[in-house]
Structure 1
Amino acid sequence: MTRVFVGSEALAAGRVNRYQLTNAHQRVFPDVYAPRGELTLLDRTIAAWLWSGRQATVTGRAAAALHGARWVDPATPIELNFANNRSPHGVVTRRETLLPDELTWSGAIPVTTVTRTAFDLARRSTRRRAIADLDALANATHFTTEDVLTIADAHPRLRGVRRLPAMLNALDAGAQSPRETYLRLDLINAGFPRPKTQIPVARPHGRWYYLDMGWPDILVAVEYDGEHHRTSRTAYAIDVERQDYLISIGWIVVRVLADHRRTDIISRVGRAWDARSNSHWAAS
């Protein structure tokens, strides 16, 4: 029996009895069960599709995850294109027109194509969250903004279409996490030029370092350090060696942690810009 299943079907087929269904499994959605324990996003996506009677098309963030996007919260609501206004908690249903070339499959599950998924992500949620979702999908699939805008031409009356060009212009496939997306947006909103991402820097022995974001013309970088940088001794040692090398070849690197305040980050980056500008003025 598959990990996620329809309870009534399993009972009818004799694959489980009612005692096993109640005591060894958990109810995910009405008449849909899985073994007790932590559920993955894929588990919940399959469960939502089974709840729809295998009729729905997966859309939104769950569709992005099926296309390989990382950093999608396992607890995110599963969005379905399905005519049902009484969806259970954890499922969001919408009924929108999906053209044949906007549909594909992930295994047995109908899902919106990458470009239709990007189109939907750009129209929904807050600006920051939507851009983070687009960054993650672009990082995994490298869709083109032109293809997404073509879909917009076919659905001019859908909610959120007008903001699509601005959202697509703001995305960056170089972001390696939602935190990096938010950091990039904070820098732009503070008035700094849009930073480049995944900046290659040659290192000894023919290899490369890649900086999260920054401005190569003035050798200023901003890097977001995830939790593993502090909890892993090996990662910490590599970071120290990396930082020393970047400084030795002229880079100013502003390192950012999750608990740093936005105003302090902007001030630190501003000081780096000032230091670099002053050094350029002195050299001239």
Structure 2
Amino acid sequence: MRYPQTRNSRRLSSAGLSGFDDGGIPATVPGSEALRDGQLTRHGLRTYRRLHRDVYVHRSAELTALSRARAAWLWADGEAVLAGFSAAAVHGTRWIGVGESATLIRRGSRRSVDGIEVRADALLPDEVCRVGEMLVTTPARTAFDLGRWLPVDRAVEVLDSLCHDTGLRPAEISSVAGRHRGERGLASLRDVVSFVDPGAESPPETRTRLVLIRGGLPAPETQIPIEDRRGRVFARADLGWRRWKVLVEYDGEHHWSDERQRTWDIERMERLAELGWVVVRVNAEQLRRRPQVIVARVRDRLRQAGAPV
């Protein structure tokens, strides 16, 4: 069967798709084939470490979710479809840890090995595409699977990123679900899709949004463009409500460790205040330990701005 060739909007690394690093060295190779074809000598193979049966990764290569996906593809000898986190990585999704197992769908087989989860889920022909040499579930099918397989909050984080990085719309995920009635996890998937927002640019932004919504506040808009008095956009805010000019900003580590970023943050906050915007800043510790304080602070600012909260 011929599958459509697809490329996501973000350029994928050469190591992930072609198996070569930037220096032209094969990063991930099937050992026996590389020896047979003369691509490597036995001495050369010693510069690699074994990741799976007959699959080797160069010792200098960084192990990522994308390189794990390619290694799983080689392990299956092309007789499977990359799915789950592996498919998401191939489609350019960020924020996938290297510790996540690669995932394959192979009909009739569920024999998993260390680092590779094999599933026997049914795939429709238009739910598979080709990226480079590899068969991969489409972004919509990938989201359908991850939305069922993962805990709700983690699923929302990953699907936010998948939608942001591929242009996938939540309605497309629901469309796939409509063709797989009776599958396990559909109730959880519906919950996940109801929270997905392609505007989120990081997991902490997603977590902040979920805290606010679950705290009873109106769903905030994401990536709000902020205009100066001449109508020129000079910044974008993580979350907020334009109607009441209240913003919520997540302060990641780079806001404190990067001096230039810190300087811009100070100048930006002054300009926002001059334009009448109120900003509530949030950090990782508050999200972990005091989410109720975040909700209370934001509710107070919204109420002061006239919001019916």
- Whether TM-score is above 0.5 comes out as yes
Establish whether residue 249 from structure 1 lines up as the match of residue 272 from structure 2. Answer: no
Quote the Cα distance in structure 2 between the aligned partners of 1:179 and 1:275: 21
Structure-2 residue corresponding to 1:100: 125
The correspondence for 1:171, drawn from 187, 196, 205, is: 196
Do the aligned residues in 2 keep the contact of 1:186 with 1:262 (CA within 8 Å)?
no
Q: How does 1:89-238 map to 2 (within 5 A)?
A: 89-203=114-228, 206-238=232-264
Q: 1:221-270 deviations in whole A, cap 9, x for unaligned?
A: 11112221111111010000001111122222111122235453532442
Q: 1:34-62 deviations in whole A, cap 9, x for unaligned?
A: 21032232221111001011111011122
Q: Which sits farther off after the overlay, 163-172 or 179-188? A: 163-172
For 1:267, what is the secondary structure of its paired residue? helix
Do the aligned residues in 1 keep the contact of 2:211 with 2:295 (CA within 8 Å)?
no
Structure-2 residue corresponding to 1:34: 57
Quote the Cα distance in structure 1 between the aligned partners of 2:44 and 2:118: 31
Q: How far does residue 2 in structure 1 lie from its aligned partner after superposition?
A: 3.1
Quote the Cα distance in structure 1 between the aligned partners of 2:115 and 2:244: 47
Establish whether residue 25 from structure 1 lines up as the match of residue 48 from structure 2. Answer: yes
Structure-1 residue corresponding to 2:84: 60
The correspondence for 2:71, drawn from 47, 50, 55, is: 47
The amino acid of 1:241's aligned partner reads E
Do the aligned residues in 1 keep the contact of 2:207 with 2:287 (CA within 8 Å)?
no
Q: How far does residue 178 in structure 1 lie from its aligned partner after superposition?
A: 0.8
For 1:250, what is the secondary structure of its paired residue? coil
Quote the Cα distance in structure 2 between the aligned partners of 1:28 and 1:222: 43
For 1:234, what is the secondary structure of its paired residue? helix
Q: Structure 1 vs Structure 2: percent identity of aligned residues?
A: 39
TM-score (norm 1): 0.91
**Which ranges in structure 2 are unaligned for 5 or more consecutive residues?**
1-24
Q: How does 1:252-263 map to 2 (within 5 A)?
A: 252-262=278-288
Do the aligned residues in 1 keep the contact of 2:228 with 2:275 (CA within 8 Å)?
no
Structure-1 residue corresponding to 2:4: none
Aligned CA distance change for structure 1 residues 94 and 279 (closer, same or farther; 3 Å): closer
Quote the Cα distance in structure 2 between the aligned partners of 1:279 and 1:181: 24
Do the aligned residues in 2 keep the contact of 1:256 with 1:265 (CA within 8 Å)?
no
RCO comparison, higher one (Cα < 8 Å, 6+): 2
The correspondence for 2:111, drawn from 65, 86, 93, is: 86
The amino acid of 1:164's aligned partner reads L
Aligned CA distance change for structure 1 residues 72 and 273 (closer, same or farther; 3 Å): same
Do the aligned residues in 2 keep the contact of 1:212 with 1:224 (CA within 8 Å)?
yes
Do the aligned residues in 2 keep the contact of 1:7 with 1:31 (CA within 8 Å)?
yes
Aligned CA distance change for structure 1 residues 271 and 157 (closer, same or farther; 3 Å): closer
For 2:50, what is the secondary structure of its paired residue? strand
TM-score (norm 2): 0.84
Quote the Cα distance in structure 2 between the aligned partners of 1:182 and 1:261: 8
For 1:121, what is the secondary structure of its paired residue? helix
Do the aligned residues in 1 keep the contact of 2:64 with 2:97 (CA within 8 Å)?
no
Do the aligned residues in 2 keep the contact of 1:220 with 1:273 (CA within 8 Å)?
no
Aligned CA distance change for structure 1 residues 189 and 280 (closer, same or farther; 3 Å): closer
